[in-house]
Amino acid sequence: MSTNHGFQATIRARDGKSDELIQLLLSGTPTSNPDCVLYLVCRSVDDPSVIHVMEGWTTRDAHAEHFAREETKALVAKIGPLLVDAARYQDVVPVGGIVRG
């Protein structure tokens, strides 16, 4: 896996907003960016309002450049009102695994 930067985020949707949140997260996927080698959106089994997002990028700079884009900023602005509180982020370094298309 050719990544050296990644993160996982845990976010909680407002009541009744988790499907809309997931739809927005999937509509703005950075997968068209060749520097994004992993983008995964998951819903918690125990609490369907909790959403996990995992990303893997070739570099920290590529990730920062993606989030500096106007369309990414616009997407983040749409997501904010759907959340109960701030996202919890954890930086990670993807070291391996498998992604099947």
pTM (whole model) above 0.75: yes
By C-alpha distance, which of 87, 99, 71, 97 is closest to 9? Answer: 87
Report the pLDDT value the prediction gives residue 2, as an integer from 0 to 100.
75
All domains of the chain in start order, with CATH:
5-91 (3.30.70.100)
Name the E strands within the chain. 5-12, 36-43, 50-57, 88-92
pLDDT of residue 24: 94
Q: What is the full per-residue pLDDT of the chain (101 aa) written as tens digits?
A: 577 899 999 999 999 999 999 999 998 778 788 899 889 999 999 999 999 999 999 999 999 999 899 988 999 999 999 999 988 999 898 787 776 65
Q: In whole numbers, what is the pLDDT of the chain averaged over residues?
A: 90
Question: In which region does residue 97 sit, left (phi positive, over 0), alpha (psi from -120 to 50) or beta (all else)?
Answer: left
Q: What share of the chain is helix, strand, coil (3-state, %, to 5)?
A: 35, 30, 35
